[in-house]
Structure 1
Amino acid sequence: MNALLKRVWTGLAATLVVSLAAVVMPDHIQIADDGRVHLGAPVSTPSPSSAEPEPEFTSPPLTRDAVDETIRTAIGAAGLDPAQGRPVGAAGADAKRTGWTAVREKSAAQAEMNAVCADLERQGWKSNPNPKGDSPDASRSYKRGGWYLLVSTRGKTQAPSTTSTVTDSQTYLTLAAFQLNLSDLPLPDITVRIG
């Protein structure tokens, strides 16, 4: 009985590790034809004739103050006044999360979001598309220096506060940033046979 429980718990743990790794680091998951799942660095070696893959963009870690400045600059580049919105989280309350949100007219929000995104790219933020969540018209994701930043416009029904006075012609323009340092979470090389 103990051996059976041990196998069940081992299987559950392996499934959890594979699921977590697939969400956090999809480029580090490989499933072989025989059903083996490999986590960690790629096991295949490129052929000498194949071109070298481009290294993933990396940048030095950013502080919350630097991210706050990035957000203010991008908002200003869109022709908006940062003081007319409100910060997401109080300054200094959470060193790993920050942002800004403001009520905007729907007719202008898309152009403002496009301008914000263009300035983020100018500042060196790289697109980090989420195929299940991003929509060019409603939200876009970026990453840089251990931070992830989501720029979105969202309607009245998804307003952050039930006391907000958003009309049918208005929406929110929101920049939400959070720090996630995956290098602090070492991922061991594990091979699991499923089936």
Structure 2
Amino acid sequence: MNALLKRVWIGLAATLVVSLAAVVAPDHVQINDEGRVHLGAPAPTPTPAPSTAAPAPESTSPPLTRDAVDEVIRTAVGAAGIDPAQGSPTVAAGADSKRTGWTAVRENSTAQSETNAICADLERQGWTLNPNPKGDRPDARSYKRGGWYLVVSTRSNSQAPSTAPAPADAQTHLTLTGIQLNLSDIPLPEITVRIG
């Protein structure tokens, strides 16, 4: 009986790890036809035979520094017609080189158009939309570039950070949250999950 319980707990733990990895970095989780799950950088594709045309290499961005991401945020916020000084950083300068962010209280009537303008500018700056496998929430979009993930979101009073000023009923928090996350540098084991 103990062996059965142990196998059940191991299976649940493996499923939890795979689920969390699929949410954080969906492009680093592969499941093959046999049900084997591989966590980590995508497996290298085999070199095509000389008789076939080689596919164009996917463009990669060099790693970004926190200062560069802070500048990206300021530029995108400015492109939406917002003075970055109207908001405040969510992580103190020099406190953490792998996290950054900016937040401001905005009117509900303009927050969606400002969010769209910020997202359009991020794409202009070379950031790639990182779609959520369950579908993007209408109030949050995720982008990636140079080892960083950047989430643009609007938050109600109940979801706002405790340090942020409380918005009025007709207002919301417009927030950009950046985190440096490079799973390809972390050696992750291959896990087999079999159901049934």
TM norm. shorter chain > 0.5:
yes
Aligned equivalent of 1:164 = 165
Aligned equivalent of 2:114 = 112
Deviation at 1:153, TM superposition (A): 1.3
Say if 1:22 and 1:29, in contact at 8 Å, map to a contact too. no
Q: Deviations over 1:57-78 (max 9, x none)?
A: 4210000000000000111111
AA partner of residue 30 (structure 2): I
What does 1:1-195 correspond to in 2, within 5 Å? 4=3, 8=7, 15=15, 18-19=18-19, 21-24=21-24, 26-27=26-27, 28-32=29-33, 35-39=34-38, 41=42, 56-132=58-134, 134-136=136-138, 138-161=139-162, 164-189=165-190, 194-195=195-196
Aligned to 2:61, the other structure's residue is in SS state: coil
Judged with a 3 Å threshold, the aligned counterparts in structure 2 of structure 1 residues 163 and 113 are, in CA distance, closer, same or farther, namely closer
Deviation at 1:130, TM superposition (A): 1.5
Using the alignment, how far apart are the partners of 1:90 and 1:44 within structure 2?
Answer: 41
Judged with a 3 Å threshold, the aligned counterparts in structure 2 of structure 1 residues 19 and 117 are, in CA distance, closer, same or farther, namely closer
AA partner of residue 117 (structure 1): C
AA partner of residue 99 (structure 1): G
After TM superposition, the score normalised by the length of structure 1 is 0.77
Using the alignment, how far apart are the partners of 1:86 and 1:156 within structure 2?
Answer: 17
Q: Deviations over 1:107-135 (max 9, x none)?
A: 11111111111111111111012244623
AA partner of residue 86 (structure 1): S
* Equivalent residues, number: 191
Judged with a 3 Å threshold, the aligned counterparts in structure 2 of structure 1 residues 16 and 44 are, in CA distance, closer, same or farther, namely farther
How many percent of aligned residue pairs carry the same amino acid? 68
Say if 1:105 and 1:170, in contact at 8 Å, map to a contact too. yes
Q: Which moved more, 1:22-31 or 1:111-120?
A: 22-31
Unmatched segments (≥5 aa) in structure 2: none
Say if 1:99 and 1:174, in contact at 8 Å, map to a contact too. yes
Using the alignment, how far apart are the partners of 1:113 and 1:194 within structure 2?
Answer: 41
Say if 1:30 and 1:42, in contact at 8 Å, map to a contact too. no
